[in-house]
Each structure stands twice: as structure tokens, then as C-alpha cells.
Amino acid sequence: MRQLGAIKDEVQTWRQLEKKVTELLDMAILAIEENDQSLQEEIQRDTDKLAFHLDGLETRLILSDEYDTRDAILAIHAGAGGTESQDWAEMLLRMYLRWAERHKYKAEILDTSAGDEAGIKSATVEIKGKYAYGYLKSEHGVHRLVRLSPFDADHARHTSFVLVEALPEAEEEIDIQINPDDLKIDTFRSSGPGGQHMQKTSSAVRITHLPTGLVVTSQSQRSQRQNKESALKVLYARLLELKRVEKEKEKARLKGERIEAGWGNQIRSYVLHPYRMVKDHRTNYETSDTTAVLDGELDDFITAYLRYRLGEKK
């Protein structure tokens, strides 16, 4: 029923677009016959809006992979470098929250681990909205920041790395079946901020999936039940990602394609000194407006990546 509803919405969108184009053509003929300059200007404005809408729909047509319509789970992990990388991880978390806000997606932080002095060591965010995963899969990889350090007394230039994982949210019991006996569930006291309740009770949850060795934790929610639900949500997503990656590897093997070893290489660099530039190393798309990008304006990078992937598939 969910898939049927999505297809009906898609068909209705294109039919409405077709209707609008027909109306504009009729208006254009009338404007030319009557030499109505004001009507011609109005038609031009409506045509520009329509073209912009069509461009967005064409990008969405690229999102045809199995899980592209799903909600997304983003996991952000600070790399080596201590406070520098932890601050960079928090900057990226803000960037993705602002991107979700711009797209009217609902974003919920499922778990965070505070940095030692500033920033965060890690964060897990659920972003709910149609095609959230399809768009955000472009962010999966290592993000590199070059800047003058605000934490260095000498203001030396530092390079920091953060790993971003984009996972499609799993539909429990449909995508993945988990045997309860395969789960080891431990509780412990939260180590992060959150008041006396979180510090005094064992509300934090750690779940180990014994067959794969996957370990997920959640300690940002107030109750043990909420933390368990959040941890299970992330575990299902990670298991679905394992399943998806294995399927892609098998497809590549059958086609005789080269299989990438992993996500170790950086996908994008953000340079704030000695010049300002954000560059995606897969597509070579770049911009000097670093402020806008860090404020969540990622659509041009996402579109460039989706079109790049389309070319790869061809």
C-alpha cells in the first residue's frame, strides 16, 4: 500500500505538470494573437517556475534504486585529531540538520557522544521524508576540512577528517528478520550530559548482534525503553546496509566490474584557508560559497553526484 500510494502521487504530479504546460501553450497563443505584452510577461514567469520544477522532477527520476524513497539514518564519526575533528563533526551535524530543515524533512537526533573539549565524537540522526536516503546517499564517505584552527594558540592550519555514513531506514520484519536470541543487550549509565536522571540510572543501551558482531549504542534519550528503540532502529538500518552492499558486490561480480574496497578515500574537501572552496572529488563540482554549503545548501552537490552515478550505470 505504501508503494502504491507513492506511485499514485508520482503519476498525479506528472499529470498536473502536463495540464499546466497545456494551459500555458493556450495562453501563449492568445497572447501572441492579441499582442498582449503583460500576458506574455506573466507566461514567461510561469514558464520559468515550471522549468525549475521540471528540473527537480528530472533529478528525482534518477532516484530509482530500491531504497531511494526511504527515510535515512546518518551516522557521523569524528576522525583522528581530537578536538579539531570533533568540532568538524559538529559542524557537519549542523549542516545536515539545516539541509533537512530546508527540505521540510523531520530530523531527530537518536544519539550523540560529546567531544572532550568541544564538538562531538559521534552522532546518529534520523531524517524522515520522501527520498531522504536517495538524496543523502551522496554524503556517504570521508569529509575533509582545512582551516586555521580556533583551538590552536598559534592559529596554525589544520586538516580534519570526519566519516559520514548514510543508511536507508529498514522496515522491520519486512527487510530484516532478527532472532531475539541473536541479540545481546546491555544497559549502563549515560556518560554524556543530560542531567541527574541520565547519570544516576542505567538508561543507556548497548545492543550486540552476535552473528555479525555489529554493536550499536544509544544514550541520548531519557528512558531505557526509548534508547532501546533508537538502538534497534540503527541496528536494523546497519543490517539492511550490509544486505544492500552484498547485493551490489554480487551484481558487480556477475558483470565483471571492479569492486571498490570501501569508503576510505575522502569524497569532499572543505577549504576555509588559504582560500575558500568546497569541492567534491567524485564529480569535480565545486563552489567558493563555503558559508552557504555549511549552512545546508547541498542540493547542487547532491544533483551533481546523482547525475554522475547515472552516467556510471550507463
Residue 57 and residue 84 share a domain: no
The letter for the amino acid at 1 is M
CB neighbours of residue 62 within 10 Å? 16
Task: Report the pLDDT value the prediction gives residue 196, as an integer from 0 to 100.
Answer: 42
Q: Copy the grid coordinates of residue 67.
A: 531504497
Residue 309 and residue 186 share a domain: no
Residue 228 CB partners (closer than 8 Å, separation 6+): 185, 205, 207, 218
How many structural domains is the chain composed of? 3
Convert the pLDDT of each residue in 241-263 to its tens digit: 999 888 888 777 765 654 443 44
- The DSSP secondary-structure symbol of 226 reads H
d(CA 11, CA 174): 26
Convert the pLDDT of each residue in 276-291 to its tens digit: 999 999 999 999 999 9
φ, ψ of residue 31 to 5 degrees: the values are -65, -35
Position 291 in a domain = yes
Whether 287 contacts 278, CB under 8 Å? yes
Which strands form 183-188's sheet, in the order they lie side by side? 183-188, 204-209, 214-218
> Model-level pTM?
0.80
Convert the pLDDT of each residue in 216-232 to its tens digit: 999 888 889 999 999 99
Residue 97 and residue 246 share a domain: no
- The DSSP secondary-structure symbol of 194 reads S
Residue 145 and residue 116 share a domain: yes
Residue 154 and residue 87 share a domain: yes
Position 67 in a domain = no
d(CA 224, CA 230): 10
At 60, the pLDDT band (50, 70, 90 cuts) reads: confident
Q: What is the CATH number of the domain that holds 230?
A: 3.30.160.20
Residue 154 and residue 98 share a domain: yes
Position 95 in a domain = yes
Position 124 in a domain = yes
Convert the pLDDT of each residue in 291-301 to its tens digit: 999 999 999 99
At 162, the pLDDT band (50, 70, 90 cuts) reads: very high
Domain of 53, in residue numbers? 2-61
At 195, the pLDDT band (50, 70, 90 cuts) reads: very low
The residue count for the chain: 314
Looking at the chain, the whole-number percentage of residues with pLDDT higher than 90 is: 59
Residue 184 and residue 241 share a domain: yes
